[in-house]
């Protein structure tokens, strides 16, 4: 292959298809890993349909691994190795340099008359990348080519690709979102329960009675506590499998990636640190950007909102607005809640702040983090809210026009007076630290682990 030498370390299949999985810098890390995941998105990529596709997701979530696994599948299917290429955008200074490299690569791959596959990883590293892609498409360089562009900032990618109408391809779906493992995905990967048992529990209606033995429920609660430690990040999961705990270096890697991406956008590390600390202090509470800015050295609420928006676009946080009955949607002027999008992200950023990680299993910490985890699982399949009335309901969403309500209670005992709003509305589900469950004033009170499985199943169904 006549290609830029900087591409060779990630395209070893050009010289040896047989040794690609063993020698590739991404895939070889999986060889000795206790757990290896192949996301369901891998089978949904329309690799046989030429076009420009996107894969977005937070840092360290597995986008590069998914690209390499897709390449491996193509090679196993007998596709010519010289027509499959991978480019990581980190070494390139600007769009002109990247365009030159990609033009040369596409020519070497024989793009045009023959099917080709091009994976361009972390494309948002390069300013002006969207104009570069448009140039290649308009020049006919992408004809017959499946192009997958990946990036961590999904809003930037979505807005930029509006400049490519008619050039995205004929597949029904062109944009894909990769997230950390859900609780259901985690339980499947670790074999917490037999697949039939797990799918039976996850596939039931959210508030359906739980048909499971005490032993099954105990295993699920242990798995939920373990998920609280590692979240859905494979590196952390494999740390625990190998060493019994998440390594400090793993926590640092993720925090450094978030910090680096924010700095790349010409933002202040000091402001980022203050805002992350402020979110942690007010975790689970209603906040406004104005009230948060008053606790910080940042003068303007819009600056706080800007940083929070960046973190949300990077899948680092989930911003949950209040539900407005008259709008049947978000209340624009009411305070919102801000959660970290995964328990591991919370741990990693706390480590960056120098906060002690003690009390990880305390009921108060579990309560706050589980409310966040449930809200983040809702955000995987729809817009989520919280409800404020006579009391408060942690999670809400619209399903076929009807408001669904879910309250999280991680305490030894659930008291009726703590459920004022959900009891007043006479509908919803309480996810609790409980055995088989029961009811309070007709409201199902179910094991939190089972309810989270069912939310994860809803999210998986929405991705199909």
pLDDT of residue 169 exceeding 80: no
Inter-residue contact 55 to 63 (CB < 8 Å): yes
Residue 33's pLDDT is 93
Domain extent at residue 14: 5-177
Task: Kindly state the average pLDDT of the residues 123-129.
Answer: 87
Beta strands (DSSP E) in 342-442 are: 385-388, 392-399, 402-409, 429-432, 438-440
**Hey, how many other C-beta atoms are within 10 angstroms of the C-beta on 260?**
11
**Other CB atoms within 10 Å distance of the CB of residue 407:** 26
- Average pLDDT in the 163-173 region? 73
Domain boundary among 177, 197, 231: 177
Least confident of 59-73, 155-169, 191-205, 368-382: 155-169
Q: What is the mean pLDDT of residues 47-70?
A: 93
The CATH number given to whatever domain includes residue 105 is: 3.40.50.300
Quick one: 243 and 228 in the same domain? yes
State the chain's mean pLDDT as an integer.
92
Residue 214 pLDDT > 80, yes or no? yes
Please indicate, yes or no, whether residues 241 and 136 belong to a single structural domain of this protein. Answer: no
Q: Which of 70, 27, 68 is nearest to 45 (CA)?
A: 70
Nearest to 341 by CA among 233, 236, 425, 432: 233
Same domain, 255 and 336: yes
The yes-or-no verdict on residue 113 having pLDDT over 80 is no
- Pair (162, 207) in one structural domain: no
Retrieve residue 274's tokens: 């203050």
Which of 121, 144, 177 represents a domain boundary (last residue)?
177
Residues 173 and 239 reside in one and the same domain: no
Last residue of a domain, one of 134, 162, 177: 177
Radius of gyration of the chain (CA): 23
Rounded to whole angstroms, the Cα distance separating 308 from 27 reads 33
Residues 239 and 102 in one domain: no
Number of domains present in the structure of the chain: 2
Q: Which of 19-33, 62-76, 225-239 has the lowest mean pLDDT?
A: 19-33
pLDDT of the residue at 1:
65
Question: Is residue 230 pLDDT above 80, yes or no?
Answer: yes
Predicted local distance difference test score (pLDDT) of residue 165: 63
What is the predicted pLDDT for the residue at 390? 83
Regarding whether 294 and 166 lie in a shared domain, the answer is no
**Residue 255: partners with Cβ closer than 8 Å, 6 or more residues away:** 348, 349, 351, 352
pTM for the structure as a whole: 0.93
pLDDT at 121 over 70: yes
- The predicted-structure confidence for 391-417, as pLDDT tens digits, reads as follows 899 999 999 999 999 999 998 788 888
């Amino acid at each position: 292959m006549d290609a830029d030498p900087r591409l060779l370390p990630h395209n070893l299949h050009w010289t040896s298809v047989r040794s690609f999985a063993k020698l590739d810098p991404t895939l070889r890390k999986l060889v000795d890993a206790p757990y290896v995941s192949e996301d369901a998105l891998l089978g949904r990529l329309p690799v046989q349909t030429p076009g420009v596709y996107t894969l977005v997701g937070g840092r360290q979530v597995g986008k590069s691994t998914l690209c390499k696994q897709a390449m491996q599948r193509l090679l196993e299917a007998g596709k010519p190795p010289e027509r499959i290429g991978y480019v990581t955008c980190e070494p390139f200074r600007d769009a002109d340099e990247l365009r030159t490299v990609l033009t040369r690569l596409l020519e070497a791959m024989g793009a045009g008359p023959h099917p080709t596959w091009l994976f361009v990883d972390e494309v948002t590293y390069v300013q002006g990348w969207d104009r570069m892609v448009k140039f290649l498409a308009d020049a006919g360089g992408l004809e017959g080519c499946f192009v997958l562009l990946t990036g961590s900032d999904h809003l930037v990618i979505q807005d930029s690709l509006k400049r490519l109408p008619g050039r995205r391809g004929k597949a029904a779906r062109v944009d894909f979102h990769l997230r950390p493992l859900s609780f259901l995905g985690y339980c499947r990967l670790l074999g917490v329960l037999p697949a039939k048992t797990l799918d039976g529990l996850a596939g039931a209606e959210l508030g359906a009675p739980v048909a499971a033995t005490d032993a099954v429920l105990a295993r699920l609660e242990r798995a939920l506590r373990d998920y609280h430690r590692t979240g859905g990040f494979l590196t952390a999961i494999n740390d625990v499998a190998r060493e019994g705990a998440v390594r400090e270096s793993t926590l640092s890697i993720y925090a450094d990636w978030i910090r680096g991406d924010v700095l790349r956008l010409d933002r202040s590390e000091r402001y980022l640190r203050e805002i992350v600390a402020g979110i942690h202090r007010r975790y689970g509470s209603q906040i406004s950007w104005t009230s948060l800015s008053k606790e910080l050295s940042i003068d303007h609420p819009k600056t706080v909102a800007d940083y929070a928006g960046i973190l949300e676009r990077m899948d680092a946080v989930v911003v949950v607005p209040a539900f407005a009955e008259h709008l049947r949607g978000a209340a624009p002027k009411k305070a919102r809640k801000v959660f970290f999008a995964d328990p591991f992200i919370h741990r990693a950023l706390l480590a960056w702040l120098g906060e002690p990680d003690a009390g990880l299993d305390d009921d108060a910490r579990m309560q706050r983090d589980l409310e966040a985890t449930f809200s983040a699982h809702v955000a995987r399949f729809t817009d989520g809210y919280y409800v404020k009335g006579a009391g408060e309901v942690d999670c809400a969403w619209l399903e076929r026009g009807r408001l669904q309500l879910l309250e999280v209670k991680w305490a030894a005992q659930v008291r009726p007076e703590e459920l004022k709003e959900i009891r007043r509305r006479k509908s919803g589900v309480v996810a609790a630290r409980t055995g088989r469950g029961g009811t309070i004033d007709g409201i199902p009170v179910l094991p939190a682990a089972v309810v989270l499985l069912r939310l994860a199943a809803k999210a998986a169904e929405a991705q199909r």
